[in-house]
Amino acid sequence: MSLLAFLDRLADAPTVDKVIEPGRRAVQAVLPRPVRDLLHGTWLGHPLHPVMMHVPVGAWMSAGVLDLVPPLRPAGTVLIGAGVAAAVPTALSGAADWSEQDIGVQRLGVLHAAANTVALGLYAGALVARAKGRGTLGLVLSYAGLGMATGSAAIGGHMSYAQSSGVSHATAAAQALTTDWIDLGPLDDLPEGRPALRTGGSDGVAVPLTAVRRGAKVDVFIGRCTHLSGPLHEGTVEQIRGASCLVCPLHGSAFDLDTGEPRRGPAANAQEKLEVRMDAGRVLARVQGRHR
């Protein structure tokens, strides 16, 4: 069985389910919503965890190279310390994301977190050993930590690339649309200030769209939430941090109606917004050209 097939099998197995719900609640109790949004990268418009993880992994990888040259080992020790310090906020950002993911991602996330914890422990031990002048033990522990961190990074990569953790779940739907104008029907059929379901598509593929009317203005979005495909037409329109937002019914992500930018997480990616024009009282929308 390949490594990836093994990870897929783990993601399907309920082995660690008992720890997931208490862990999820603990993370959300320790990290209130504004802190989680900071850690998700909602303010950045991009998930923060994959950006942050380069710091510890890069520092530890570089330390591994410096340790190959004995005169450079003190510099390697400095890098190991920098990696240990950076691993803490990196782990917090991962925990914040994990607490609002689907169950398959959360199962592999438990393994990812356990491997990272072991790697961090090995590096902490390496620092202690080096500080006490036990250089050989320090080398063994740090290379063991590098191996563990590398394995854990592979699991994290599988969570992103195979399980779509952190990617925009609206992009594939946007790509299924042509850039032709889509007739969404009469303006007067849209309810005022509430999301409504409309449908676009091409080649027999139906793409849900969510339209929000505010007077004569209509904002149209891909209807599946960028976070985990929540049905945005079942959401609400609310004022969040001074902006009118479309709020997802699943985990409460809020997208600015004017820009599609997230104003509240867990979403970190902007919601795909369509271009809109009126024609004889009918609403027409088309996807932005960047998808073609």
- Chain residues binding ligand FES by CB under 6 A are 225, 227-230, 248, 250-253, 266-267
Closer residue to ligand FES (CB): 111 or 248: 248
Q: For residues 5 and 139, what is the distance between their CA atoms, to the nearest angstrom?
A: 33
Closer residue to ligand FES (CB): 207 or 284: 207
Closer residue to ligand FES (CB): 142 or 229: 229
Neighbours of 147 (CB within 10 A): 13
The answer for residues whose C-beta is within 8 angstroms of residue 250's C-beta and 6 or more apart is 225, 227, 228, 230
Alpha helices in the chain (DSSP H): 3-12, 17-30, 33-40, 49-52, 54-66, 73-98, 103-131, 135-161, 171-175
**Least distance between ligand FES and beta carbon 27 (Å):** 16
As given in the structure block, the two tokens for residue 162 are 């195979």
**Least distance between ligand FES and beta carbon 100 (Å):** 7
**Least distance between ligand FES and beta carbon 21 (Å):** 17
Closer residue to ligand FES (CB): 27 or 248: 248
**Least distance between ligand FES and beta carbon 195 (Å):** 12
Q: For residues 5 and 110, what is the distance between their CA atoms, to the nearest angstrom?
A: 17
**Least distance between ligand FES and beta carbon 249 (Å):** 7
Closer residue to ligand FES (CB): 96 or 283: 96
